[in-house]
Structure 1
Amino acid sequence: MPRSSALPRRSVDRRTRLVATATLVCFGVAAAARVLVDTSTAGFDAPARYATVPPSGWTAFDTVNVVAVAGASLAGAAVLLFGATLVSAVLHHRGRRLPLVIGAVTLAMALGAVLAGAVASGRTDFTAVTELELLRTALAGLAVASLPAIVLGAVRARGRA
């Protein structure tokens, strides 16, 4: 009996896997940069940085700043890639539930961002406020990056109706 030469349809296409992998790599390197900056700056004494004598040459503080900037840039790129991954998934996936799931998760991220901002406004510890504001910014950025996929899903659903 002859076999069908058609391969089974994959649930995720190659482009979506590639963009998702790039997203995870960017998030991973950004997280590693954050950990490196946190562990490196733990030993810095803040008043020593604000001396009246101009700095001479490249210091460890400058190196940590470069790592922090690279990590923040990669985190921003990862957020954009996250949105592209969702758009690619919605384009490839023919089901109707994926945009609804993305919408529900986006709503949860937006509410989490609002909650983190509200909790941060009541704190007095600078470190706690910084961490909560970082969480708020990350959740809000991911929620905004999800919006094109939600709109695309809505347009495609409207086109089907």
Structure 2
Amino acid sequence: MAVAGRFSQKLFRLSLLKNVRVLQKAYASSFGDSTKRGMPGAYPKTEEERIAAAKKYNIRVEDYEPYPDDGLGWGDYPKMEKIHQDSRDPHADWDFPEERRNYGELLHIEEDFLKRYTPNSTKKYKYSHTQQAGMFFAVLGTLGFLFWLGSFYKFFPPVVPKQYPENNRIIPEFKMF
């Protein structure tokens, strides 16, 4: 009886291990291949290489423009517009709403700087930074001027001797302890 129990346990472990290995292979192949495909290749020098790179990144040939070959090593990766994740539509039906992007969407080469937990450097403000600084110092200067002006007009609450209903009446003080 004990031998049959040990045999069934070993069989169960082997089948479980086999299932885990199958899942690991499926998981690795689903991501491993797309990662290799998404890696930038050499900078396209001919029109055929350019067409192949556009097809590789699933972009129309007319829209494909690689980064300039200035030695930084971006290769054939397409040049994209910088759009911070906070600037994207929050009400759209995203596949990954926490990152505001869809499955298979091409990422910007500097995607780490465009995440939601980083400052939004691409946002267009209503007022420029010099206008904002001017408004800040205008409010600060106005308040400083008002405090300075108020220093000439001292305000003290009126103080008069305490009045009692009868003359020279002493009111006892109550002490708790």
Relative to the length of structure 1, the TM-score reads 0.29
Name which one, 1 or 2, has greater alpha-carbon Rg: 2
Greater RCO, CA 8 A, separation 6+: 1
Bigger helix share: 1
Relative to the length of structure 2, the TM-score reads 0.27
